[in-house]
Amino acid sequence: MHIIQTLFKALLTVALLSTFGFAKGETLQTIDLNTTTGQPIKISVSKNGFLFDTVKDKAVVLDFFGPHCPPCLIEIPHLIDMQKAHAKDLQIIGVQVQVQMSNDELNAFIKKKGINYPVVNLDYAWDLVAFVRANTGWQGQIPYMMVFDKEGNLKRQFIGMTPNETILKYIK
């Protein structure tokens, strides 16, 4: 009987903590990023996803990529088109995770490719990379995307090239 009471108390405690301890929108952790142009981005991690302080009322696609990754290079023009076509409802944020390079080098790459969304360089993304790897099972494959709705809820993750139509299904 004592074991059943102890188990019941433990289950009740877990239920209460999940209901009250991690209320929707409650920040569990913050992650600070800086884009290659020096724009700070603060991510508030909640139970259901990420809230981005610089992005209001838009879905967010975090695109983890590399400048020497052939599938990433193929995908970039499609992301540019998607950002342009859905600028009112969507913000893409690139996160370069393949190689260590200076912001000047990455900015030259961004300019050459015509990237029209903010990009965070690896040196400014270590905390994000570590958090995502620890909490999603991501092993570092690129391209890798995390899609968040307008409320910051993680809707889907993709490894490998993903058609825009597939991504757009999850941002509405």
Residue 90 falls inside a structural domain: yes
CATH of the domain at 84: 3.40.30.10
Q: How confident is the model at residue 27 (pLDDT cuts 50, 70, 90)?
A: confident
Q: Which domain holds residue 55?
A: 25-169
Sequence-ordered list of residues with C-beta below 8 angstroms from that of 98, at least 6 positions apart, any chain: 65, 66, 67, 68, 69, 72, 122, 142
Q: Which two tokens stand for residue 16?
A: 């209460």
Residue 94 falls inside a structural domain: yes
pLDDT tens by residue, 58-103: 999 999 999 999 999 999 999 999 999 999 999 999 999 999 999 9
Q: What are phi and psi of 151, to 5 degrees?
A: -90, 0
Residue 114 falls inside a structural domain: yes
Residue 113 falls inside a structural domain: yes
Q: How confident is the model at residue 47 (pLDDT cuts 50, 70, 90)?
A: confident
Residue 104 falls inside a structural domain: yes
String of DSSP letters for 88-153: TTEEEEEEE-SS---HHHHHHHHHHHT--S-EE-GGG-HHHHHHHHHHH---S-SSEEEEE-TT-B
Residue 1 falls inside a structural domain: no
Residue 58 falls inside a structural domain: yes
Q: Cα 71 to the chain's mean position, in Å?
A: 19
16, 35 in Cβ contact below 8 A?
Answer: no
147-162 mean pLDDT? 95
Position 169 scores a pLDDT of 92
66, 98 in Cβ contact below 8 A?
Answer: yes
Residue 72 falls inside a structural domain: yes
Q: Which two tokens stand for residue 25?
A: 């929108």
State the CB neighbour count (10 A cutoff) for residue 44: 17
Q: How many domains does the chain have?
A: 1
